[in-house]
A and B are shown apart, each in its own frame.
Chain A
Amino acid sequence: MDALGAMQAAIRLMVTFDPQFLQIVGLSLRVTLTAVLVAAIIGLPLGAWLALARFPGRTALIVVINGLMGLPPVVAGLVVFLFLSRSGPLGPLGLLFTPTAMIIAQTILVLPIVIALTRGTLEELWQEYREHLTSLGLTGWRAVPTLLWDGRFALATGLLAGFGRASAEVGAVLIVGGNIANYTRTMTTTIALETSKGDLPLALGLGLVLMALTLAINAAGYAASRIGTRFAG
């Protein structure tokens, strides 16, 4: 019964192009993709640095970052909330209950994944190609672009994993976004809201749409990397 109702709700949502629904989907994608992009811009160089640099405490730092991959979204949300609240250190910026706050929280969730996977991938590649790269005169930092390029598929998978984590979470965006209608309401917070209203078919239908979107983005990422391989030869 409920499964049927959910399928109907999902199909109705997708074929009617309800503007409010499209706005929710748009905001979800905007927030999550921006968070992944920011995490990539910060995390790729940081991960590369961590792969190549040698300094005291490096192992401890790696363990901490690996551990942060399991940071509960609700904790990340709470920390961002306390910083952005008007009574917090960044209060004057007035960012609480805005999409920007949601992007910040999700970036914090995605960043450890990007750093850890970049570090792992590049360290392996560096060990494998070290002699070859050194003979080409590519040492230290100058080897990073080559390593990133060679590891691009593994890194793309890492970014997709980060996207998965961010698009699926509800705890952080709910706390820092406030689930404001037409402003900070995303797919996952809508699902939570409809569940609390007892409209379980609609909630489940939204869940199906979210899963379909995630699937589509993963497929697109995969296709892009295949096409990329062909062109790169």
Chain B
Amino acid sequence: MIDRKMWLVLGLALVASGPAFAQGTPAERFITVSSTTSTTDSGLFTHLLPLFKAKTGIEVRVVSQGTGQALDTGRRGDADVVFVHARAQELKFVEEGFGVERKPVMYNDFVLIGPKADPAGIKGGKDIVTALKAVQAKGSLFISRGDKSGTHSAELNLWKAAEIDIEKVKGPWYREIGQGMGAALNMASAQNGYVLSDRATWLNFRNRGDLDIVVEGDRRLFNQYGVMLVNPAKHSHVKKAEGQAFIDWLVSPEGQKAISDYKIGGASLFFPNATQPGA
């Protein structure tokens, strides 16, 4: 008697959980895109993807990671398309045969965020290199992503441009946190430090505390995004047609307009430039 009752219970539980094993969206066309936290956290994808799906019926599943990790996801074949912002790393990705072709899509810009009290005395400046030199000279608290993301490599390039060997001079004032943009902003907000952020994430960030933009507008702060199809020759399961359709749409006049149409408080966050040579 007892075991029969138990089997009954077990059987019922199995039947009840049956739907749990079924896939969420059966028989739908989808691609997986590995991209950066900035494109997701800024809300850009929430704006773009429904437009693309309405046109093509293809669902885009975005995994957002730092640029380094997003490229790795592509290398492993766990994504069909990689959409990131670190030109040198992207070209290397294509050169190694993991990506088919890199296409420029859009740019946004980085801004240097810092406490309103401005201990390094750099607020309102237009020259990022001068600003970073002052931060280092005064030993003001600086939060670095330290996660091989596109923003992290942009930050390292800027130290280089300032002729500062950050590996040598870094001390307790320079904190590498190994986390995403939001975490870095949260830490800067909690400890009143300086931090390099992409503008889109900053505009969407709610926990600002005493932080504000201290340096913006330097050409060296421009941040180019590129998109690549993961090479089907390396990973045969890559959804070539659907992935290419997404890329083609992004760089088409229609996709480019959709990008510039995405605004917060009346201001565009990303500036399409697919047709600009050398971008």
Contacts and interface: CB of A to CB of B under 8 A. Distances in A.
B185 interface: yes
A221 interface: no
Nearest to B25: A183
B241 interface: no
B185 to A, nearest CB: 6
A97 B32 contact: yes
B20 A198 contact: no
Nearest to B211: A198
Contact of A145 (B6, B13, B78): B6
Contacts of B183: 195-196
B120 to A, nearest CB: 23
A137 to B, nearest CB: 15
B262 to A, nearest CB: 16
Nearest to A231: B5
B93 to A, nearest CB: 15
B273 interface: no
A6 to B, nearest CB: 13
B78 A85 contact: yes
Nearest to A200: B207
B37 A196 contact: yes
Given A181-B46, A197-B41, A87 B2 contact: no
Contacts of B14: 37
Interface residues on A, range: 35 or more
A200 B182 CA distance: 11
A98 interface: yes
A97 B186 CA distance: 27
Q: Secondary structure at chain B's binding surface: helix, strand, loop or mixed?
A: helix
Interface in A133-174: 145-146, 148-149
Given A98-B23, A183-B24, A199 B78 contact: no
Contacts of B41: 193, 196-197
B13 A37 contact: yes
A97 B207 CA distance: 30
B58 interface: no
Interface stretch (B59-67, B126-134, B153-161): B59-67
A39 interface: no
A178 interface: yes
A149 B46 contact: no
B242 to A, nearest CB: 14
Nearest to B30: A183
A199 B208 CA distance: 10
B20 A148 contact: no
A71 to B, nearest CB: 22
A34 B24 CA distance: 14
B116 interface: no
Contact of A180 (B61, B189, B237): B61
A200 B76 contact: no
B77 A37 contact: no
A86 B78 contact: yes
Interface string B1-36: 011001000100110010011011100000010000
A118 interface: no
A72 interface: no
A67 interface: no
A41 interface: yes
Contacts of B208: 198
A180 B21 contact: no
A97 B61 contact: yes
B168 interface: no
Nearest to B202: A198
B235 interface: yes
A206 interface: no
A91 B2 contact: no
A145 B24 contact: no
Contacts of B237: 86, 92, 94
A226 interface: no
Nearest to B4: A145
B6 A148 contact: yes
Contact of A199 (B21, B24, B37, B206): B206
A195 B20 CA distance: 29
Given A145-B2, A179-B64, A198-B207, 5 more contacts: A37-B13, A86-B235, A178-B32, A198-B189, A200-B207
21 contacts: A87-B78, A94-B237, A96-B78, A97-B32, A99-B24, A100-B21, A100-B23, A145-B2, A178-B32, A178-B61, A179-B63, A180-B32, A180-B62, A181-B45, A196-B180, A196-B182, A197-B205, A197-B206, A198-B186, A199-B207, A200-B206
State the 8 A-B residue pairs at the shortest beta-carbon distance, nearest first.
A196-B182, A198-B207, A86-B77, A178-B63, A145-B3, A198-B206, A34-B20, A198-B205
